[in-house]
């Protein structure tokens, strides 16, 4: 009896996947209900997997482990900061700091240690600079989290509409399209300098027709590319690479506070 139930569940899952693939592949414009169904399928497809977001498939970028609900669970960022200064005697001093950050998005509301409720979920962040050991802290999530615009699309926070079908590499992908406002939507941090990349400009922010596109592979239903197109300006994009290395994990033996100071 149990085998029959398992087979029935697998058959239902396969039928649902086939139906969702047909929606993504259709030549007609997608309706709002179609977009909602696709996003549900996308979150199911990436659940439990790690995606690295980078400007090149083999480049550096944030690594995001998606939880069982297909939403961000852990995020790892590795990089460095270079700088320097010139002393009064003309002597130049330079420095280089490396860092690794693990952010645990708990899904719980952030609360100050005095009991005050904060906006945003509780994020337990662990940072290791120059391999000196992990330092934990608790904070509330903000609108300026790493890769926030992409995650807002995946989570349905930013409304999207139907886009084109296109071949990306060896994959056929469907675009879901939304407005793009770089002045209010930070992207990621450069792994070498720690600066936002690309640096948003006032000119780009003022263009009303700028759009962002999330490209969904029609077979796996996973995102494969995120792209920004601004009229009369070069476009730029980030690729998704899945399960290319060890998944982000919370450091062993480090206890983070459960409230925000």
Distances (CA, A) of 63 to 59, 127, 134, 179: 11, 15, 18, 25
Show the domain range for 106: 20-242
* DSSP class per residue in 20-63: HHHHHH-SSPPPHHHHHHHHHHHHHHHTT-EEEEESSTTS---E
Q: What gap in Å lies between CA 185 and CA 80, rounded to an integer?
A: 23
Residue 54 lies in a domain: yes
Q: What gap in Å lies between CA 228 and CA 230, rounded to an integer?
A: 7
Can you give the length of the chain in residues? 261
Residue 3 lies in a domain: no
Quick: pLDDT tens for 154-170.
999 999 999 999 999 88
Residue 228 lies in a domain: yes
Selected residue with higher pLDDT from 97 and 90: 97
Quick: pLDDT tens for 8-20.
333 445 666 677 7
Residue 248 lies in a domain: no
Residue 247 lies in a domain: no
Judged against a pLDDT cut of 50, whether residue 230 lies above it is answered with: yes
At residue 167, what are phi and psi to the nearest 5 degrees?
Answer: -90, 125
CB 259 within 8 A of CB 117: no
The average pLDDT across 55-79 equals 94
Selected residue with higher pLDDT from 10 and 224: 224
- Counting the structural domains of the chain, the total is 1
CATH of the domain at 173: 2.50.20
Number of neighbouring beta carbons within 10 Å of residue 261: 9
Residue 189 lies in a domain: yes
At residue 59, what are phi and psi to the nearest 5 degrees?
Answer: -90, 170
CB 96 within 8 A of CB 88: no
């Amino acid at each position: 009896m149990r085998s029959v139930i398992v087979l029935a569940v697998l058959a239902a899952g396969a039928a649902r996947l086939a139906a969702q693939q047909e929606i993504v592949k259709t030549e007609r414009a997608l309706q709002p209900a179609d977009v909602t169904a696709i996003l549900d399928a996308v979150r199911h497809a990436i659940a439990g997997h790690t995606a690295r977001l980078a400007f090149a498939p083999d480049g550096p970028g944030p690594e995001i482990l998606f939880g069982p609900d297909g939403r961000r669970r852990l995020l790892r960022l590795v990089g460095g900061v270079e700088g320097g200064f010139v002393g009064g005697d003309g002597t130049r001093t330079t420095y280089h700091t490396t860092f690794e950050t693990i952010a645990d998005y708990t899904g719980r509301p952030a609360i100050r240690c005095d009991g005050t409720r904060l906006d945003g979920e509780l994020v337990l962040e662990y940072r290791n600079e120059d391999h000196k050991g992990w330092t934990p802290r608790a904070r509330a999530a903000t609108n300026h989290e790493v890769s926030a615009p992409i995650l807002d699309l995946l989570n349905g926070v930013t409304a999207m509409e139907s886009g084109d079908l296109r071949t990306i590499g060896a994959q056929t992908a469907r675009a879901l399209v939304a407005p793009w406002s770089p002045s209010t939507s930070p992207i990621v941090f450069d792994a070498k300098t720690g600066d936002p990349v690309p640096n948003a400009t006032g000119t780009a922010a003022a263009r009303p027709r700028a759009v962002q596109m999330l490209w969904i592979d029609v077979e796996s239903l996973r995102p494969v590319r995120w792209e920004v197109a601004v009229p009369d300006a070069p476009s730029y994009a980030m690729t998704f690479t899945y399960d290319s290395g060890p998944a982000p994990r919370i450091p062993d033996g480090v206890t983070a506070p459960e409230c925000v100071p």
